[in-house]
Amino acid sequence: MRVLIVEDERRLAQTLADLMEAHNYTADVSYDGESGLDNALSGIYDVIILDVMLPKRNGFEVVRAMRDEGVKTPVLMLTARTETDDKVNGLDAGADYYLTKPFQSRELLACIRVITRRQNHAADNVLSFGDLRLELSSCQLSCGERSVRLSRKEFEIMGKLMANGAQVVTKETLLLTVWGYDSNAEDNNVEVYISFLRKKLSHLKSTVTIKTLRMIGYHLEVKKAP
C-alpha cells in the first residue's frame, strides 16, 4: 500500500511517514498543496493524508480538484482547527474522514484502516481475476489447488494488474507505485519482474496471461479455451 502525506510541518510529516512505513506502507511526502495535488493526480496512492492549512493550495482545494479530476483515492484530512465548519467543508469537498490535531497514532491508523477498507470492496483481503486469487495478507497467488508465494515486488505488480483487470497499467505507473519516485529503477526492472510473474502463472497453470502493450504497459487477459 502506498500513502501520500501532504503536510507542511516537516517534523509532523516525517513522523507520519515513519509511522506509515512502520505499518508496511510506502510513504511519499509533499510539503505544499500544489505538489500534493500533482502527486495525488497520479492516481498511484491507496490513501492520502492531507493537511488543511498548506502553502500554495489548501487541503480543501486539493481534495476538490482531485475529485473533479475523477481521482477517487480515499482522503483523510488533518487540521489543527476544531470548528465544525471546517469538518463540513472538508467532507463537502470530497474528503472521506476528518481528524483533528493533535491525535494519537493508533487513532490515525484506525481511520486509515476504515477509509481504505471502505474503498476495497467487501471481499477485502483477496483480489481475483479469471481463475487467479491473490491473498493480500500473505502475498499468496493461487489458481485452483496450486499456489505460490510472491516476493514483495512481484506482489505489488500483480496486485496492481489484478486490480485493473483487463485495463492497461502503464510501465510508468508500475515504476512509481512499486519502486517510488526516488528510485533509479528503469523499464527493464519492470520487465524482469513481469517475466518472473509469467513463469509463476505458467507454473500455476492459470488461464490468465500478462499481455504486453509495446512501449506502453501491461494488462491481464484470460486465455480462451482451445
Contact residues: Ca ion, CB under 5 A: 8, 51, 53
CB of 59 to Ca ion, least distance (A): 8
Q: Identify which of residues 102 and 226 has a Cβ nearer to Ca ion in the complex.
A: 102
CA atoms within 13 A on the CB side of 154: 21
CB of 66 to Ca ion, least distance (A): 18
8-21 b/e (C-beta count within 10 Å ≥ 16 → b): bbeeebeebbebbe
CB of 52 to Ca ion, least distance (A): 7
* 216 contacts 201 by C-beta, under 8 angstroms: no
- Distance between CA atoms of residues 156 and 159, nearest Å: 5
For 225, which DSSP code? P
Q: Identify which of residues 8 and 172 has a Cβ nearer to Ca ion in the complex.
A: 8
CB of 12 to Ca ion, least distance (A): 8
Q: Identify which of residues 53 and 210 has a Cβ nearer to Ca ion in the complex.
A: 53
Q: Identify which of residues 59 and 217 has a Cβ nearer to Ca ion in the complex.
A: 59
**Assigned C-alpha cell, 201:** 502463472
Residue 94 CB: number of other CB atoms within 10 A?
A: 18
Q: Identify which of residues 6 and 141 has a Cβ nearer to Ca ion in the complex.
A: 6
CB of 18 to Ca ion, least distance (A): 18
Angle between helices 33-41 and 59-68 in degrees, nearest 10: 20
Residue of this chain nearest to Ca ion (CB atom): 53
Helices (H) and strands (E) in the chain, counts: 8, 12
